[in-house]
Amino acid sequence: METLVDIFLLSLLVVTAIASIRLRDLFAVVMLFGIYSLVSASLFVVMDAVDVAFTEASVGAGVATVFMLGTLALTTHREKAPIAHNPLLPLLVVAITGAALVYGTYDIPRYGDPANPIHQHVAPRYIQDSPHEIGIPNIVSSVLASYRGYDTLGETTVVFTAAIGVLLLIGGARRRRPNKDQRR
Amino acid sequence: MRQYPIPRLVTKLLLPLILLFALYVQFHGDYGPGGGFQAGVIFGAGFILYALIYGLDEARRILPPWLLRIGVSLGVLIYAGVGVTGLLLGGNYLDYGVLDSHDPVHGQHLGILLVELGVGITVSAVMVTIFYAFAGRGR
């Protein structure tokens, strides 16, 4: 049953990806990106990573879609026609890179195998000691906020920096000056 | 969007639930999936929905940009401040165990709550700030 769900979701991902490459209307592409994120979130749920799925659904499918629509409103919603060129060389490069990536997946540890290296190192320590060290039921939260507190502080600072960057580039006061000039 | 009654009404009905759900995700993150980041995004998305339907000026009246700028930096300050408090109480930076002198587990609870609150405040303020910047630019 789970294999069936996986196949369904993964083929939906492929269809969405191909459709978003083929389409020239950027509004539709943004919507497809939102669908892509939502399908990815469903895949994360299937893999039991609900915290990641939650983030993907709210950020990828929700807020990022609105931001991209905002960008479209500032620019244009039609993609320029691509310059005509011979597709053989790009196709060759993509095929070789894809083959190398697929070859690389054979070295990845099998999904869900308890003998994987990641399950041998720090994960057992967290699972055994988190209940009496931190005392909260959601181990993901205790790892994110306490054991890996530095990482989360760094992530919060990154989000903070993003806002500062956007404000410096397109935010606030500079917009009003040309309006005043027009009024004069 | 002001002239369409259905989106307006649906927004009015949904907005309290979205904000309440954000608070649930924020403070229930210790027990279920979620936490400050997701809660902040949902809270911000609620206000973005409001701004989309009722207009940017109306949203700016309720959540003014100066308040958002305070929120953007306040969250990071709360997070870093919890770390510094740990240092002052004799522990390591971001070691929450020392926050409660009697029970380190309770200190961890308190530290995680405050830190997640900081993340939530920063993320929600950042999301609305970026939306204001994009939407204000287009007019």
Q: In this structure, what CATH number is given to the domain that contains residue A39?
A: 1.20.120.1200
Specify the 3-state DSSP secondary structure of B46: helix
Report CA-CA distances (Å) from A37 to A47, A61, B7, B43: 15, 5, 24, 19
- Model-level pTM? 0.85
In a domain? residue A57: yes
* Residues A1 and A76 placed together within one structural domain of the fold: yes
- Asked if the model's pLDDT at residue A176 lies above 60, the reply is no
Q: What is the pLDDT of residue A125?
A: 87
Q: How far is B99 from chain A (nearest CA, A)?
A: 13
Residue A140 predicted with pLDDT over 80? yes
Residue B108 CA to chain centroid, in angstroms?
Answer: 21
Tokens representing B8? 């307006």
Residue A184 banded pLDDT, cuts 50, 70, 90:
very low
> Which residue range(s) make up the domain with A180?
124-184
Q: Are residues A65 and A133 in the same domain?
A: no
Give the count of Cβ contacts less than 8 A between chain A and B. 148
In a domain, A8, yes or no: yes
Nearest CA in chain A to B26: A141
- Percentage of residues in chain A with pLDDT exceeding 70? 93
Asked if the model's pLDDT at residue A78 lies above 70, the reply is: yes
For the cut 60, the answer to whether the pLDDT of residue B119 exceeds it is: yes
The region of weakest confidence among A44-48, A123-127, A168-172, B114-118 is A168-172
Looking at A52, A80, A108, which one is the last position of a domain? A80
List, as ranges, residues 33-92 from A with C-beta within 8 Å of B. 50-51, 53-55, 58-59, 62-63, 66-67, 70-71, 73-74
Same domain as A74, residue A139: no
Q: Last residue of a domain, which of A22, A47, A80? A: A80
Which of the listed residues A15, A50, A80 is the one where a domain comes to its end? A80
Q: Are B49 and B14 in contact (CB under 8 A)?
A: yes
Q: Give me the torsion for CA of B22, B24, B29, B34, rounded to 10°.
A: -40
Q: In which domain, by residue range, is B68 found? A: 5-137
Residue B62: how many other CB atoms lie within 10 Å: 11
**Closest Cα of chain B to A30: distance in Å?**
16
Paired strand residues for A78: A25
Total domain count for chain B? 1
Average pLDDT, chain A: 87
Please determine, for residue A175, whether its predicted confidence score (pLDDT) is greater than 50: no
Q: Is residue A96 part of a domain?
A: no
Average pLDDT over residues A28-43: 95
Domain count, chain A: 2
* Sequence letter at residue A151: D
Residue-wise pLDDT tens digits, A88-108: 999 999 999 999 999 998 888
The answer to whether the Cβ–Cβ distance between B29 and A138 falls below 8 Å is: yes
At B48 the pLDDT is 93
Model confidence band, residue B138 (pLDDT cutoffs 50, 70, 90): low
Closest-CA distance, A173 to chain B, in angstroms, reads 10
pLDDT score recorded for residue A161:
95
**Contact (CB, 8 A) for A58 and B124:** no
Name the residue type at position A158. Answer: V
For an interface test with A, give the residue of B53, B113, B127, B131 to mutate (most A CBs within 10 A): B127
Q: What is the pLDDT of residue B50?
A: 93
Rounded to the nearest 10°, the torsion over CA A33, A34, A36, A40 is 140
Residues in A closer than 8 angstroms to B42, CB to CB, are 58, 62
Closest residue in A to B44 (Cα) is A63
Q: Does residue A14 share a domain with residue A76?
A: yes
Q: For all residues of chain B together, what is the average pLDDT?
A: 90
